[in-house]
C-alpha cells in the first residue's frame, strides 16, 4: 500500500463511545444481504427529553432494522457508529447483549407515571427477533414489575408469538401495542417497506391481540404526500382497523431527515418520478410538512374516525393535558 495512505490511516482519530462498541461487535450470522453483530451496551433504557413525544424512556432491543422502509427516519442512529451509508442501517444489525439484566438495573430509575416506549428507532419484532429473542427477554423482565406504563410499536405479526407474555405484562402494568400500517395496498407496501410483513398480516395481529384482551390499535405513519394520503385509501384503512377490533387509529405525515432523504429521494426517482420535484420543494429546507398539510390530514382522520366509530386514543396519556399531536410524526411511530 502507498506509505502516504498508511500514514493517513495512522492519523485517523480513535473510535469512542457507541462507535467503539460497534467496532468491537462480533459477527454472528449473515443472510439476505444482512449481517448480525453482537453489541455490548451500558444501558438498555434511554431517557427521552423531546417535547414532541409522549414518553419518557425508550427501549430498542436492536440497532438497525431489516425491514428497510424507504422513509425510515432512524437511519441516522447508525451514524453514531460512524456508518454513513444509509443502507448500513438495514444490512448491519446489532443484537444487544444481556438486555434483560441491563433493564432490571435501569428500571430503578423509572418513576411512577413515566412511560416506556419499545421500538422507537428499530423494530423490536424484525426478523432477528425470531432467532435472538432480545425483545422477548425484555418482556419477561417487564412482566415481573408493577405499575409501569409501556407502549410497543411494530410492523410485524411476530408479536402474536408473545401474546401470553404480553398478557402477563398487562396484568400489573399499563400496556398498549401499536401496529404500524401505512397502506392496505400490498404492492405499494412491498416497495415502500420491502421486508416488512404484509398489511393484512399486521391487521390480523391487531385482531389477535385485541381478542386476547390487550389494548392494540393502528398507527398510520408516515403518511406520504401524493402516495398514501388519498382520502379513499385512508378511509379503507380506518374501516379495516375497526373491523379488526383495533381500539384506536391515528396518522402522522412524513418526517424526512437528511439521512432518510438520501435513500427516499432515489426511491422516488425510480418509483414515482413525477413526485420528485414536489418533494424537493416540500422538504428541501425542512424535515416536516407544512402546517396546512398537517391540519388537512388531522381533520380528515378525525372525520374518518367519527364515520367508523373508532378512537384516536392510544396510551395511558391520551387524556392528559399534553396528548400527542396528530400533525407531527413522532419518533415512536416512525
Residue-number span of the structural domain to which 307 is assigned: 16-333
Predicted local distance difference test score (pLDDT) of residue 53: 73
- Per the structure, how many domains does the chain have? 1
Q: Is residue 7 part of a domain?
A: no
Q: Is residue 184 part of a domain?
A: yes
* Helix H or strand E segment including 175: strand 174-180
* Helix H or strand E segment including 251: strand 249-253
Q: Is residue 175 part of a domain?
A: yes
We report the CATH number of the domain holding residue 50 as 3.80.30.30
Q: Is residue 317 part of a domain?
A: yes
Q: Is residue 3 part of a domain?
A: no
Q: Is residue 243 part of a domain?
A: yes
Q: Is residue 151 part of a domain?
A: yes
Cell representation of residue 279: 418533494
Q: In tens digits, what is the pLDDT along the chain, a chain of 334 residues? A: 444 443 434 444 554 444 444 344 444 454 568 999 998 888 999 998 776 777 899 999 998 999 999 999 888 775 655 556 668 888 999 999 999 999 999 999 999 889 999 999 899 999 999 999 999 999 999 999 999 999 999 999 999 999 999 999 999 999 999 999 999 999 999 999 999 999 999 999 999 999 999 999 999 999 999 999 999 999 999 999 999 999 999 999 999 988 889 899 999 999 999 999 999 999 988 999 999 999 999 999 999 999 999 987 654 443 332 334 454 333 333 3
Predicted local distance difference test score (pLDDT) of residue 5: 40
Instruction: Enumerate residues 6+ apart whose C-beta is below 8 A from 326.
Output: 250, 251, 252, 294, 297, 298, 301, 312
Predicted local distance difference test score (pLDDT) of residue 75: 81
| Calculated CA dihedral for residues 57, 125, 202, 224, nearest 10 degrees | 60
Q: Is residue 62 part of a domain?
A: yes
Predicted local distance difference test score (pLDDT) of residue 312: 79
Q: Which residues pair with 309 in a beta bridge?
A: none
Length reported for the chain: 334
| Burial bucket for residue 232 (CB in 10 Å: 0-12, 13-18, 19+) | exposed
Cα 125 from Cα 117, distance rounded (Å): 14
pTM confidence score: 0.84
Amino acid at each position: 500500500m502507498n506509505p502516504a495512505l498508511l500514514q493517513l490511516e495512522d492519523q485517523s482519530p480513535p473510535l469512542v463511545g457507541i462507535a467503539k462498541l460497534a467496532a468491537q461487535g462480533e459477527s454472528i450470522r449473515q443472510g439476505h444481504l444482512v449481517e448480525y453483530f453482537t453489541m455490548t451496551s451500558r444501558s438498555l433504557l434511554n431517557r427521552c427529553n423531546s417535547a414532541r413525544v409522549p414518553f419518557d424512556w425508550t427501549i430498542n432491543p436492536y440497532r438497525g432494522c431489516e425491514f428497510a422502509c424507504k422513509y425510515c427516519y432512524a437511519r441516522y442512529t447508525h451514524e453514531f457508529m460512524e456508518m454513513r451509508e444509509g443502507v448500513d442501517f438495514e444490512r448491519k444489525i446489532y443484537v444487544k447483549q444481556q438486555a434483560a439484566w441491563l433493564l432490571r438495573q435501569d428500571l430503578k430509575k423509572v418513576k411512577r407515571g413515566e412511560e416506556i416506549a419499545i421500538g422507537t428507532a428499530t423494530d423490536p419484532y424484525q426478523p432477528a427477533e425470531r432467532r435472538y429473542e432480545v425483545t422477548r427477554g425484555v418482556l419477561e423482565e417487564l412482566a415481573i414489575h408493577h405499575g409501569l406504563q409501556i407502549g410497543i410499536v411494530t410492523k410485524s405479526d411476530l408479536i402474536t408469538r408473545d401474546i401470553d407474555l404480553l398478557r402477563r405484562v398487562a396484568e400489573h402494568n399499563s400496556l398498549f401495542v401499536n401496529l404500524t400500517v401505512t397502506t392496505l395496498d400490498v404492492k405499494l407496501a412491498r416497495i415502500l417497506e420491502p421486508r416488512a410483513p404484509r398489511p393484512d398480516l399486521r391487521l390480523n395481529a391487531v385482531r389477535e391481540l385485541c381478542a386476547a384482551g390487550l389494548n392494540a390499535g393502528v398507527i398510520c405513519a408516515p403518511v406520504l404526500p401524493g402516495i398514501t394520503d388519498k382520502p379513499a385509501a385512508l378511509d379503507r384503512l380506518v374501516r379495516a382497523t375497526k373491523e379488526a377490533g383495533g381500539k384506536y387509529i391515528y396518522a402522522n405525515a412524513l418526517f424526512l431527515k437528511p439521512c432518510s432523504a438520501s435513500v427516499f429521494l432515489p426511491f422516488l426517482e425510480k418509483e414515482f418520478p413525477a413526485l420528485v420535484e414536489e418533494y424537493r420543494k416540500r422538504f428541501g429546507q425542512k424535515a416536516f410538512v407544512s402546517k396546512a398539510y398537517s391540519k388537512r390530514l388531522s381533520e380528515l382522520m378525525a372525520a374518518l374516525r367519527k364515520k367508523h366509530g373508532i378512537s384516536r386514543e392510544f396510551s395511558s396519556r391520551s387524556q392528559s393535558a399534553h396528548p400527542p399531536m396528530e400533525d407531527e410524526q413522532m419518533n415512536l411511530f416512525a
